[in-house]
């Protein structure tokens, strides 16, 4: 089936079949998405990670379809129901719904009205009626009289007819063609309606007031509205019903099953109506809502993943001395000093706020720490007391060289109590670990945030309403992609960061760190092959994404893969210089003819050579933007400080399908609706803003009672 799958995926994604086949073979050989995208461009036709991911998803989907097809065939063979016609239909089914429609008449089931009627011997009568042979000598009632048998529970012709109609209703509900046409009707014309629980007041009605009288076409319903409505129904605030025009549905069934206008046809019409109301409508309603939910979840996961990508790739401060502050009122503000490598040098606590109000003592302590450790930046968590603490620090008249930056601390508390945090700092309490996380995520957001479950970082849309395994798989892909895009210093990285490197994983990451601790820093990438259980395949996948600064080979600090070092050595040899002399030498590099180093047999083409050249121009360049300090508007600390019409700076904290949330420094994010993101027609929010972006916003409305802030970027 692989050839068919490749043909189908190539057609669906408008890709070259050779590229799809190459990706399939590389994936089956154990290659990772980052490795394929970065180091096998000639094989794939320079497909990016997104396209490769879609090919992988398509292959997995079709393989699952094959597995279900095989299971159905086994079941039919066991039942003795398999025929050449059914096998042909099963092999031609292009979706799970088609497969299940074909299998439906043969699926083991509980006893139904139709089952009982068949046990009473009424199936022949049902076939006669469904045939609608109006030219016969007997009408349906006369035929039904022949099936009266009190011993079987059939006491009258009327009971026989009813039993036959129950059988016909089930046959209609199991007809693949009818289900397919009605499925299209439910999707294109279905209206999702809410019904409040009669006579009951639900405590969460206020949260879902926009959905209490819902009546909206399901096909055009936005993902966030559908997921919110489904959550309200799950919590019992209201029930949901998907309605279609019954006349339209019955017209479809009559077109398929009605052959005349005599007594038998009228009975089939009645059976069709019963089939729709009792069997088809409930089944297709559930199926349609399930499909809509799946699509909404996929969209929500896409939004979450994109937000996470931008959050992980935020500009790093870099190697600087940092004083990190985890603010608090009653419990005080926890202080930690981190050296440029993120190592804990000192911890302390100050109490500048009520109820303690020991501001002079706190100010003296902060100033002393800054002087003692030559602090360059103060990182302040943006949680409780964050703005008050920032204001206090700015009033200390510290040296102008010391920047004060607020840091989003979402997930820091999760990290502080995690096994990873306890392993890193077994002798420190959770408050110290939380402050360390705040400081380190300023120094290098990616290196620190990988230690936290992505769901806990707080950049998702309805992440608690979507399939956990799909969400985890998507977010893991994003984390891995970001880590490998930036590259990892193998001599400084944590186990959590190394475990996200292509080809490694947690166990090999632990082995790398253990070897590093026992033998000292790695001097070359080749030394990694001495790590227990790190074999050639893992090395192939991981080596290009691992960096060794100050090692024996200058190429080890670049993204040039060791398998291509010989190409760079040839380039340097042709120019009569060393590899180190060639790197960053714009004059020499600009004179190279890449075509001279192409080798199709070894899979080296212009795409790979351009990547190599870029790395030689800018060895080990960090792809993330340059860090810029940000400050909220002075005097704006609480929601009561906001006034309609104000223009103030903010940072985008979350992007959704309906707009973007912006932190303006008042402990409550404001919403910029998508209609207020840019002038003209409402754009897709993700096309205008991204998580972490600094923006100027105008205050449109402040609902202090509900703590809602409406903002505009127009």
| Cβ partners under 8 Å of residue 397, min gap 6 | none
Q: What is the mean pLDDT of residues 477-487?
A: 93
User: What is the pTM assigned to this prediction?
Assistant: 0.84
Task: Tell me how far apart the alpha carbons of residues 379 and 435 are, in angstroms, rounded to a whole number.
Answer: 9
Task: Tell me how far apart the alpha carbons of residues 345 and 337 are, in angstroms, rounded to a whole number.
Answer: 5
Phi-psi region of 408 (alpha: psi -120 to 50; beta: other; left: phi over 0): beta
Q: What is residue 360's predicted lDDT score, i.e. its pLDDT?
A: 94
Q: Which tens digits make up the pLDDT trace of 140-170?
A: 898 999 999 999 999 999 999 999 999 999 9
Residue 383 pLDDT exceeds 60: yes
Q: Among 74, 72, 68, 40, which residue's Cα sits nearest to residue 55?
A: 40
Q: What is the mean pLDDT of residues 230-254?
A: 93
Taken in order of first residue, the domains within the chain and their CATH numbers are 2-76 (1.10.10.650), 322-443 (3.30.420.140), 639-712 (2.40.50.140)
Mean pLDDT of the residues in the chain: 91
Q: What is the mean pLDDT of residues 506-535?
A: 95
Residue 640 pLDDT exceeds 80: yes
* Cα 711 versus chain centre, distance: 27
Q: What is the mean pLDDT of residues 26-41?
A: 94
Residue 249 pLDDT exceeds 70: yes
Q: Which tens digits make up the pLDDT trace of 451-471?
A: 888 777 767 666 677 888 888
Binned at pLDDT 50, 70 and 90, residue 321 comes out as: very high
Binned at pLDDT 50, 70 and 90, residue 58 comes out as: very high
Task: Tell me how far apart the alpha carbons of residues 579 and 593 are, in angstroms, rounded to a whole number.
Answer: 17
Q: Among 496, 491, 553, 495, which residue's Cα sits nearest to residue 524?
A: 553
Residue 137 pLDDT exceeds 60: no
Residue 410 pLDDT exceeds 90: no
Residue 591 pLDDT exceeds 60: yes
Q: What is residue 462's predicted lDDT score, i.e. its pLDDT?
A: 63
Task: Tell me how far apart the alpha carbons of residues 157 and 134 are, in angstroms, rounded to a whole number.
Answer: 19
Distances (CA, A) of 244 to 54, 66, 179, 584: 34, 33, 14, 67
The more confidently predicted of residues 582 and 415 is 582
Q: What is residue 657's predicted lDDT score, i.e. its pLDDT?
A: 86
Ranges 207-211, 626-630, 710-714, most confident:
710-714
Q: Among 501, 326, 338, 499, which residue's Cα sits nearest to residue 420?
A: 499
- Quick count: other Cβ atoms within 10 Å of Cβ 348? 18
User: SS3 of 502, please?
Assistant: coil
Q: What is residue 1's predicted lDDT score, i.e. its pLDDT?
A: 62
Q: Among 62, 87, 58, which residue's Cα sits nearest to residue 72?
A: 87
Q: What is the mean pLDDT of residues 319-333?
A: 94
Q: What is residue 165's predicted lDDT score, i.e. its pLDDT?
A: 96
Angle, CA of 192, 194 and 196, to the nearest 5°: 170
Q: What is residue 290's predicted lDDT score, i.e. its pLDDT?
A: 92
Burial class (CB in 10 A: 0-12, 13-18, 19+), 352: buried
Task: Tell me how far apart the alpha carbons of residues 707 and 685 are, in angstroms, rounded to a whole number.
Answer: 23
Q: Which tens digits make up the pLDDT trace of 365-376?
A: 999 999 999 999
Of the listed ranges 77-81, 101-105, 197-201, the one predicted with least confidence? 197-201
Q: What is residue 198's predicted lDDT score, i.e. its pLDDT?
A: 62
Q: What is residue 629's predicted lDDT score, i.e. its pLDDT?
A: 86
Residue 136 pLDDT exceeds 80: no
Q: What is residue 635's predicted lDDT score, i.e. its pLDDT?
A: 86
Q: What is the mean pLDDT of residues 167-181?
A: 94
Binned at pLDDT 50, 70 and 90, residue 134 comes out as: low
Task: Tell me how far apart the alpha carbons of residues 385 and 191 are, in angstroms, rounded to a whole number.
Answer: 47
Task: Tell me how far apart the alpha carbons of residues 371 and 377 are, in angstroms, rounded to a whole number.
Answer: 12
Q: What is the mean pLDDT of residues 30-36?
A: 94
Binned at pLDDT 50, 70 and 90, residue 35 comes out as: very high
Binned at pLDDT 50, 70 and 90, residue 135 comes out as: low
The more confidently predicted of residues 413 and 518 is 518
Task: Tell me how far apart the alpha carbons of residues 248 and 442 are, in angstroms, rounded to a whole number.
Answer: 60
């Amino acid at each position: 089936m692989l050839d068919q799958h490749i043909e189908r995926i190539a057609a669906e994604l408008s890709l070259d079949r050779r590229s799809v086949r190459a990706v399939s073979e590389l994936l089956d050989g154990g290659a990772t998405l980052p490795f394929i995208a970065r180091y096998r461009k000639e094989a794939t036709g320079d497909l990016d990670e997104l396209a490769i991911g879609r090919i992988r998803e398509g292959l997995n989907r079709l393989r699952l379809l094959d597995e279900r097809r095989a299971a159905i065939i086994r079941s039919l063979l066991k039942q003795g129901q398999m025929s050449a016609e059914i096998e042909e239909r099963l092999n031609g089914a292009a979706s799970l719904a088609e497969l299940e429609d074909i299998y439906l008449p043969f699926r083991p089931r509980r006893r139904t009205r139709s089952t009982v009627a068949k046990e009473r011997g009424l199936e022949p009568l049902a076939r006669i009626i469904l045939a609608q042979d109006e030219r016969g000598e007997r009408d349906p009632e006369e035929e039904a009289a022949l099936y009266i048998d009190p011993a079987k529970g059939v006491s009258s012709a009327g009971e026989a007819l009813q039993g036959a109609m129950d059988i016909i209703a089930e046959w209609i509900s199991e007809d693949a063609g009818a289900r397919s046409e009605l499925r299209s009707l439910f999707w294109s014309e279905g209206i999702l309606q809410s019904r409040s629980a009669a006579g009951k007041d639900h405590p969460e009605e206020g949260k879902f007031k926009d959905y209490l009288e819902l009546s909206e076409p399901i096909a055009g319903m936005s993902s966030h509205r559908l997921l919110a409505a489904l959550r309200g129904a799950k919590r019992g605030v209201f029930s949901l019903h998907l309605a279609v025009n019954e006349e339209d549905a019955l017209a479809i069934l009559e077109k398929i099953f009605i052959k005349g206008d005599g007594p038998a046809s009228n009975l089939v019409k009645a059976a069709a109506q019963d089939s729709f109301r009792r069997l088809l409508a409930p089944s297709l309603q559930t199926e349609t809502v399930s499909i809509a939910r799946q699509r909404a979840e996929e969209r929500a996961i896409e939004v979450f993943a994109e937000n996470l990508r931008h959050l992980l790739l935020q500009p790093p401060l870099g190697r600087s001395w940092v004083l990190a502050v985890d603010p608090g009122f009653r419990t005080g503000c926890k202080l930690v000093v981190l050296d440029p490598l993120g190592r804990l040098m000192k911890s302390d606590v100050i109490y500048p706020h009520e109820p303690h109000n020991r501001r002079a003592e706190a100010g003296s302590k902060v100033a002393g720490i800054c002087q003692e450790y030559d602090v360059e930046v103060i990182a302040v968590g943006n949680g409780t007391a964050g703005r008050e603490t920032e204001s206090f620090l700015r009033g200390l008249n510290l040296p102008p060289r010391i920047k004060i930056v607020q840091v989003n601390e979402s997930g820091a508390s999760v990290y502080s109590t995690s096994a990873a945090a306890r392993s890193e700092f077994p002798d420190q309490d959770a408050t110290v670990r939380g402050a360390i996380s705040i400081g380190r995520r300023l120094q290098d957001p990616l290196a620190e945030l990988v230690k936290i479950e992505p769901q806990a970082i707080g950049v998702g849309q309805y992440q608690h309403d979507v399939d956990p395994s799909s969400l985890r798989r998507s977010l893991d892909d994003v984390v891995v992609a970001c880590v490998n895009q930036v590259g990892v210093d193998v001599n400084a990285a944590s186990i959590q960061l190394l475990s996200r490197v292509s080809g490694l994983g947690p166990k090999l990451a632990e082995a790398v760190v253990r070897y590093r601790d026992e033998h000292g820093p790695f001097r070359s990438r080749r030394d990694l092959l001495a790590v227990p259980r790190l074999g050639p395949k893992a090395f192939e996948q991981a080596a290009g994404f691992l960096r060794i600064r100050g090692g024996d080979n200058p190429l080890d600090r670049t993204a040039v893969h060791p398998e291509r070092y010989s190409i760079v050595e040839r380039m340097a040899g042709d120019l009569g210089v060393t590899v180190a002399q060639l790197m960053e030498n714009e004059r020499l590099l600009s004179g190279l003819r890449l075509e001279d180093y192409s080798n199709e047999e070894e899979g080296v083409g212009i795409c790979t050579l351009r990547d190599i050249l870029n790395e030689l121009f800018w060895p080990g360049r960090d792809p993330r933007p340059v860090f810029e300090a940000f400050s909220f508007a002075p005097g704006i600390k609480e929601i009561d400080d906001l006034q309609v019409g104000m223009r103030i700076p903010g940072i985008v904290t979350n992007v959704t399908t309906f707009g973007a949330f912006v932190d303006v420094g008042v402990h409550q994010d404001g919403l910029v609706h998508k209609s207020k993101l840019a002038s003209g027609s409402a754009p897709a929010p993700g096309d205008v803003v991204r998580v972490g972006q600094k923006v100027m916003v105008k205050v449109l409305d402040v609902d202090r009672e509900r703590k809602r802030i409406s903002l505009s970027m127009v």
